[in-house]
Homo-oligomer: A and B are copies of this chain.
Amino acid sequence: MAKSAAVLSASAKGARVTISDVAEALSLTKSTVSRALNGYPDISQSTQLRVKRMAERMAYQPLSHAQAIKTGRTRSLGFVLQLADHDAQRPFLAEFLAGLSEGATAQGYTLTVASADNEEHLIETFQTLLRDRKADGFILPRAMVDDPRVKLLRKADVPFVLFGRQFDPEGCCWFDIRGEDAMRDAVLHLAGLGHRRIGFINGGTIYSYAKLRREGFEDGMAQAGLTLEPELMRENAVTMEEGERAGASILDASDPPTAIVCAVDQTALGVYRAAHLRGLVIGHDLSVVGYDGIKEGAHAQPPLSTFVVDNRASGVALAGLLIRRIRGEPTVQLRKTSLAHFVNRGSTGQNTRHE
């Protein structure tokens, strides 16, 4: 206990506790301590334990950049914000980042965030980050069908995980929400309420979710015994403006639908507006379901039914996955979990004019 006092005073001193301090306190060498801490197999169980205990007691924490100089790894996850992406503008981001940072912190990692405004700049950003070893791996939001980031990182043999499906499985690890199920459920929900003519506005076709969500919609229609009307289906709308345009063209069809399902929340707001301009009242003349996790607050105005997605949980999951990858631990190659749930805010009831 005399030693204990010395130990504590050393760590309370203000100066960081180094591996040498721990070694000294145990009359061992740095290298032994290092190996014990990193779980090398050539250290006896007993010393392994002694070392770990002492390290704990002295609140020793290896300095990540001191390790990095040898190992090349900084214990930091990279995330590149794509400003062109429509997500950038949405509540999505804060939650997702919080999730990432939470997941990272839980394992002693940090999150390094960079940004890029176009694709050129994007890969340049990755390269800089890699060259300077600012990140051990990357989280890639919004998986694309033909993803330039994936190509780059694969070639450079850098660990990464995707938020969104990846069809070419090679060396890929992804996590995704089952958006296709959400789309199907929306259709079934609407059909159950008596809707027969249901429109669909899909999101950006460059993203891998678009194909899936369309299939989900089509599945739902098939299951409900309804026929697909190409006239009522649109692709590639991600902003409110695009949603308005798509919605308008669908509503102006010869035989317009009584409900519209949107693969992206922002577009639903556009539909809402298009309907408004045509004198249609949501929940009365037209029902709208939006997917993608519009949150209460900001958008509570329109009585929009929506699938709410837990982006924070997604972030936590992805951070965890990436860390496993970095450490070379086995990861589940494919991952699908439904973190979406439906919130009916009353716009999907059977429309009055069809009673």
For A300, the chain B residues whose CB sits under 8 A away are 240, 273
Which of these binds chain B: A34-42, A104-112, A340-348? A104-112
What residue of chain B has the Cβ atom nearest to residue A240's Cβ?
B297
Interface 9-residue window, one of A47-55, A81-89, A174-182, A229-237? A81-89
Is A113 in the interface zone, CB < 8 Å from B?
A: yes
Whether the pair B105, A61 counts as a contact (CB closer than 8 A) is no
Complex contact B115–A112 (CB within 8 A): no
Number of residues on chain A facing chain B (CB within 8 A): 53
Confirm or deny: A190 has a beta carbon within 8 angstroms of a beta carbon on chain B. Answer: no
Tell me which residues from 92 to 116 in chain A have a Cβ below 8 Å from any Cβ of chain B. 93-95, 97-98, 101-102, 105, 110-115
**Which residues of B are found within 8 Å of A117, using beta-carbon distances?**
98
Contacts of A128 in B (CB 8 A): 105
Query: With an 8 A cutoff between CB atoms, is A301 at the interface?
Result: yes
Q: A98 near B69 (CB under 8 angstroms)? A: no
A302 proximal to B (CB < 8 A): yes
Shortest Cβ distance from A278 into chain B, in angstroms?
16
- Cβ 8 A contact of A89, one of B63, B94, B239, B269: B94
> Is B302 in contact with A301, judged by CB distance below 8 angstroms?
yes
Interface residue? A16 (CB, 8 A): yes
Chain A residues within 8 Å of B, Cβ to Cβ: 16, 61, 63-66, 68-69, 74, 76, 79, 81, 83, 88-91, 93-95, 97-98, 101-102, 105, 110-115, 117, 125, 128-129, 131-134, 239-241, 266, 269, 272-273, 295, 297-302
List 17 other contacts, CB 8 Å, given A63-B132, A89-B298, A240-B298.
Answer: A16-B131, A63-B133, A65-B68, A69-B69, A89-B91, A89-B94, A97-B115, A110-B114, A110-B129, A110-B132, A111-B112, A112-B113, A113-B113, A239-B297, A240-B300, A266-B297, A301-B302
Q: List the 4 shortest-distance A-B pairs measured between CB atoms, nearest first.
A: A65-B65, A101-B115, A88-B94, A98-B115
